[in-house]
Copies of this chain bind each other. A is one copy, B any other.
């Protein structure tokens, strides 16, 4: 992958996916006792008003970030995942535009995926820092 990667710039989707993957590896190596994250509210990390489902505790966030990393690394697109209900809501709101213009849709999803990977990378780094605060290790 090295020669191909050399020409990727900071707006590369593959680089964003790789950055996320590395952030999760770093999180895994840092968080040696994930159970310490249990029952700790995740409201600093996630927008709880908007997303009730992700606002259980930091341990659930930890598991979720790892699950997404596994999806990223396998490259497998989960066509019937457990969050299908919410995805359907998203699709419904897009219905009038879904068949509109494949070029626009392509760029929309490319940018969307790029953007959400950046967001998830930040959340992974925040969770890692949060853990270090909990165990009393300075960053």
Contact = CB atoms under 8 A, between A and B. Distances in A.
Interface of A: 1, 7-9, 11-16, 46-47, 50-51, 53-54, 64, 67-68, 71, 74-79, 81, 83, 86-87, 89-91, 93-94, 96-97, 99-114, 116-117, 119-120, 123
Number of copies: 2
Contact of A97 (B15, B67, B89, B114): B89
By DSSP majority rule, is chain A's interface helix, strand, loop, or mixed? Answer: helix
Nearest to A86: B104
B83 A103 contact: yes
A14 B15 CA distance: 13
Given A93-B93, A113-B113, A50 B13 contact: no
A14 B75 contact: yes
Nearest to A85: B104
Given A100-B50, A119-B102, A81 B93 contact: no
